[in-house]
Amino acid sequence: METPAEPQGGITVRRALELPGLRAGLPEVLAGGERLHRTVRWVHAGEVPNIASLLKGGELLLTTGIGLGTRPAEQRAFVRRLADRGIAALVVELGPRFARLPPALVDTARATGLPLVQLHREVPFVSVTEEIHTEIVNGHYALLRRAEEVHRRCTEVLLDGGGVPQVLRILADFTGAPAFLETPGGQLLYAVGTATAGADPLQIWEGLRGRPAARESPPAGTVLVDIPGGGQGAAAVRARLVLPAVGTPLLTVHRMAAERAAGLLAVVLMQARQEEELAARGRGDFLTDLAEGRIAADAAPAQARVLGFRPGEGPLLPVVMRLAPSAPGGDWASLARAMTDELAAVGVPALLGVRPVEGRVPLLVGLRTESERTAVADRVAGALRAGVARAGLERPGTHPPVVVVGMAGGWTAASAGLRHAAEAATAAQGLPERPWYDARRLDTELLLWRLRDHPDLAAFVDRAIGPLRDHDATARPPLLPTLESYLTHAGRKAETARELHLNRQTLYNRLARISELLGTDLDDPQTVLALTLALHARRHTP
């Protein structure tokens, strides 16, 4: 048996029979009386036998019975086709064609559950159609007014300073169902329940949306509305509004209200993201201005307090993270949020900003004492990398971000430390991966990077290791890695052999070949210094 439901943009068969036009025909319901709650979407009048093929479903069909046929089989087939089409009701006017409706017609209507009504008096079908259509249009307008009222209330609450939870509360109160906002991937962002639902909204969420099968095939009557993101492809949807059918299916007016609210939520989410990114950029600008000396050290603490940074009386630790040029572009607001969330677990005050143009993330960290510099640097570097991974900017095949930590000190030292760390982070691109680099240990790299465009640097590299580069371009095994490992281990042959997985004699032979090609003594301190610098400088030269 069908469950009565509120008309969704139409009127019921019962209401249509109560209107003056059909009431004047003295309507008598012969079948389907328990289904008079069906919604009349439209009215159609016709007399052809194949009229079912012209209908879409939800119509109230008016006829004098000319197309019903004269034989019982034709009449039964006529009714079955209408029932299969899903019309709301069949209304037959008695007169020249039928003095009373034939039993085959009535019995088939009862068997199929199709409401069948006979009119004992003649009525003008045009007037009936006009009257019912006017009622339907008025019903649609009433739905629009109800949905617009929800939109108006949501707009007002946003203008008064409310946000997403308040909008969801209005929707939940209007629909009588809990309201949820989720990511396109199904992660819950906000949840608001209702007093009538009688259950924790999170329990409802777990039951209705927590399982993959439920997300793919939501319960009938559930309203799902995408929140536009303004981008292309995956970025076209920023979030999804979910109003699950709890108890009874939701109605058309509820969907209309949700669709109007979705437009407001799109603006709220976009504005929040823009404001978040602007705030992160503003903090980045402050830290950059401090590093470049555009903000005096004595004025910096007050400006930092305005930005929410209150480090206490201990020293400040400057840190700069630089994303690799090959890192995928992303949402800097999401990146800043992810890193800030990760830093919260470190337990130290931090002021973090972003500089998208340079691909840099500068920050200042408040320490209690200078002795905790290394331990805090370990935790901060781990938090920054975790934030990058959460924001989706660290993928296979891309270089990891470089984190450089400066010296701890007061605001004056922080200014110089940020500038030093930022430059060192750029110079450190391409070095062997480490959790973080001490800015002081990158001074040689920084000096060579500053000379990268000077022709003398390229000439120096060519004089120092040019013969080895030429050898490695045509012969095997390559000798530059052997020299690099040997110098890294300060000439300790046993450690060099272990790292290269060579026996002692093979290593001795390679070192002798290197000395021969370069025409120099690898035990000479000046030679070792020149070769070490040349190996570092080759990263910065063509």
pLDDT, tens digit, 9 for 90 and up, residues 174-230: 888 888 888 777 767 777 877 655 556 766 766 665 544 445 556 667 888 988 876
CA-to-CA distance for 37 and 89, rounded, in angstroms?
10
CA-to-CA distance for 511 and 337, rounded, in angstroms?
51
pLDDT higher than threshold 80 for residue 411: yes
pLDDT higher than threshold 90 for residue 417: yes
What is the side-by-side strand order in the sheet with 89-93?
27-31, 116-119, 89-93, 59-63, 42-45
Q: 41 — alpha (psi -120 to 50), left (phi > 0) or beta? A: alpha
pLDDT, tens digit, 9 for 90 and up, residues 344-389: 888 899 999 998 888 899 999 999 999 999 999 999 999 999 988 8
Closest CA to 221 of 246, 253, 191: 246
CA-to-CA distance for 198 and 204, rounded, in angstroms?
10
- b/e sequence 66-102, b meaning 16+ C-beta within 10 Å: ebbbeeeeebbbbbbbbbebebbbbbbbbeeebeebb
pLDDT bin (cut points 50, 70, 90) of residue 6 is very low
How many other CB atoms are found less than 10 A from the CB of residue 313? 6
pLDDT given at position 10: 66
Of 46-50, 272-276, 463-467, least confident by mean pLDDT is 272-276
pLDDT given at position 107: 95
CA-to-CA distance for 192 and 162, rounded, in angstroms?
14
Please, are residues 282 and 307 in contact by the beta-carbon 8 Å criterion? yes
pLDDT given at position 435: 93
pLDDT higher than threshold 60 for residue 4: no
Contact partners, residue 365, CB within 8 Å, separation at least 6: 311, 316, 317, 319, 348, 349, 350, 376, 380
Of 270-274, 298-302, 308-312, 403-407, least confident by mean pLDDT is 270-274
pLDDT, tens digit, 9 for 90 and up, residues 461-472: 999 999 999 999
* Locus of tokens 């479903």: 57
Give the strand pairing for 402-405 and 437-438: parallel
Closest CA to 320 of 407, 412, 448: 407
CA-to-CA distance for 459 and 482, rounded, in angstroms?
22
pLDDT given at position 229: 73
Of 18-27, 95-104, 192-201, 395-404, least confident by mean pLDDT is 192-201
More confident residue, 282 or 206: 282
Residue 409, SS3 per DSSP = strand
CA-to-CA distance for 153 and 434, rounded, in angstroms?
54
pLDDT higher than threshold 90 for residue 84: yes
CA-to-CA distance for 406 and 317, rounded, in angstroms?
7
What are the distances in angstroms from CA 541 to CA 290, 314, 448?
31, 41, 9
Q: Which structure tokens are listed for 196?
A: 């009538």
Mean pLDDT of the chain: 86
* Locus of tokens 């570092």: 536
* Superfamily (CATH) of domain 11-135: HprK N-terminal domain-like (3.40.1390.20)
pLDDT given at position 377: 96
Question: Within the chain, which residue ranges are assigned CATH 1.10.10.2840?
Answer: 455-540
Long-range contacts of 500-506, Cβ-Cβ distance < 8 Å, separation of 24 or more: none
pLDDT higher than threshold 60 for residue 329: no
Long-range contacts of 46-54, Cβ-Cβ distance < 8 Å, separation of 24 or more: 49/74, 49/78, 51/82, 52/78, 52/81, 52/82, 52/84, 52/85, 52/87, 53/81
pLDDT higher than threshold 90 for residue 272: no
Total-model pTM: 0.54
| Top-ranked range on mean pLDDT: pick from 179-193, 200-214, 263-277, 296-310 | 296-310
pLDDT bin (cut points 50, 70, 90) of residue 402 is very high
pLDDT given at position 213: 43
More confident residue, 51 or 161: 51
Residues in the chain: 542
* Locus of tokens 């739905």: 143
pLDDT higher than threshold 80 for residue 273: no
pLDDT higher than threshold 90 for residue 391: no
pLDDT higher than threshold 90 for residue 412: yes
Question: Within the chain, which residue ranges are assigned CATH 3.40.1390.20?
Answer: 11-135
Label each residue of 283-343 as H, E or C. HHHHHHHHHCCCCCCCCHHHHHHHCCCCCCCCCEEEEEEECCCCCCCCCHHHHHHHHHHHH
pLDDT, tens digit, 9 for 90 and up, residues 121-130: 999 999 999 9
Q: Which CATH class is domain 296-438?
A: alpha beta
CA-to-CA distance for 389 and 395, rounded, in angstroms?
8
pLDDT, tens digit, 9 for 90 and up, residues 483-536: 999 998 999 999 999 999 999 999 999 999 999 999 999 989 999 999 999 998
Please, are residues 445 and 426 in contact by the beta-carbon 8 Å criterion? no
Question: Within the chain, which residue ranges are assigned CATH 3.30.450.30?
Answer: 162-211+219-271
Q: Which structure tokens are listed for 30?
A: 């012969």
pLDDT given at position 9: 53
The second-level CATH assignment, the architecture, of 455-540 is: Orthogonal Bundle (1.10)
pLDDT, tens digit, 9 for 90 and up, residues 130-171: 999 888 888 778 778 888 898 999 999 888 877 888 888 898
- In one-letter notation, the amino acid at residue 45 is A
Is the CATH code 3.30.360.10 the one for domain 162-211+219-271? no
pLDDT given at position 461: 92
CA-to-CA distance for 242 and 255, rounded, in angstroms?
10
Closest CA to 253 of 4, 5, 2: 5
